[in-house]
Amino acid sequence: MVRFSLRQLAFLAETADCGGIAPAARNLNVSPAAISSAIDKLEAVTGVTLFDRFPARGMRLTRAGAAILHDAEILLMHAEALEKRTVEMAKGEIGTIRIGTHYAIAQRIVLPAVLSFRERYPNVRIEVVEEDFPSLVASLEASDVDALVVFNQGFDAARYDVEVLKEIAPLVLLPEAHPLAKSASVQLEDLANIPYIAVSRAGPGPSYLDLLRNAGLDPEVPLTSQSREMVQAYVGKGLGFTLVGFPPGQNVTIEGDAVITRPLAQDIGQFEIAIAVTRAVRQADLVATFLDTCRAQV
């Protein structure tokens, strides 16, 4: 158990620097008795004589006192740094934010939010985790992330606060040279004989393929990938079509093939982009501010 205070160590340092109690008291704007009492208590708890006292000539550190002062100054330096850090944290100037999301949302919402947020808070560290929905929910439950910005595939309302940011209808992704790409919108029946390129199921909610089947279209599915980028690459090579929430960047696949998105003429359902936080965990001000920045992107 620590038997002395930072205040006592500060009095020790000032007295050593000034060479006496009276000038140290003036510098610190305290009474000489307060400093004298602090030094007496330090000597009592350490069992060490800290100063040699010379009538009319002030005080001088003993060898043991000098050694203790060296360690005391290190403690005081760390205490000052800690105080500064806590003030900065209270003002929201430093800290770490951990956000879980999906690749498409990271591109369209989270990345722009990160860039905008860092202009205002350059000393805040932002960590972004991209995973499938179940993995992200598990990370939120374990407090490995502070919040999720995701496609809503179903949350336990008793455990999570969920805010829907936007509802988006799926878009048909086609090779740019495909005849259907010339239409303003695509009819479901026009897709009946075109293979569907699927992304592996990533959560408990309905997939794009489920939406198609519920609307009465049951396409052949020759290719499935865990990578959305590979699915889009297959489409770019003319191997079929897929549904996406957002167009690829610059309408080009990772293979460099031109693709294009078109809306469906029929309404087959929508997906929700949502923010989710754990009800049991108080949301830090920094996290709340970053989520406001995400809202602004939508």
**Mind listing the domains of the chain with CATH numbers?**
6-90 (1.10.10.10), 97-164+278-297 (3.40.190.10), 170-269 (3.40.190.10)
pLDDT at residue number 218: 94
Cα 212 → chain centroid = 35
C-beta separation of 52 from 66 below 8 A: no
Q: Tokens at residue 50, please?
A: 């800290």
Q: What is the pTM of this model?
A: 0.66
pLDDT at residue number 261: 96
In one-letter notation, the amino acid at residue 75 is L
pLDDT at residue number 90: 58
pLDDT at residue number 93: 61
For the chain (298 residues), the mean pLDDT of every run of 10, in chain order, is: 83 91 92 92 91 84 92 87 67 79 90 92 91 92 94 91 94 96 94 94 78 94 92 96 89 94 94 92 83 92
Per DSSP bridges, beta strands 242-244 and 259-263 are unpaired
What does the buried/exposed string (b/e) look like for 289-298 if buried means 16 or more CB atoms within 10 Å of the residue's CB?
A: ebbebbeebe
